[in-house]
Amino acid sequence: MKHYVSGGSLSEVQPTAAPSCKDHEILRDRVRADLRVYRAAVNALDKEVAKNDGNIEKAFKNARIAQDAYELASMKPDEHIASHGCG
């Protein structure tokens, strides 16, 4: 909260809410979806590791791809907000 002096008295200025944006909502939903896929891929990798049969390469590759997708998607909402101040 910022304080300003106007006319010799201290007054508080309440921050205004940023406007909502449909694109921002879509980007946040994309992050949630990618996180679900990432969690599922990690669970599948855990199951392959537990089998201990030496066949974890495919599960590891899938988990890595899902991780990359999630990390990329998680940056998009902040970039979008920075571009025009929605939120």
Element housing 30 (H / E) = helix 22-51
Its pTM stands at 0.70
The residues, ordered by sequence, that sit 6+ positions from 86 with a Cβ below 8 Å of its Cβ are 18, 19, 20, 21, 23, 24, 80
Average pLDDT over residues 61-86: 92
- Residue extents of the structural domains in the chain: 18-84
Residue 61 and residue 45: Cα distance in Å, rounded? 9
DSSP β-bridge partners for residue 75: none
What are the pLDDT digits (tens) for 10-67? 445 454 455 578 888 999 999 999 999 999 999 999 999 999 888 899 999 999 999 9
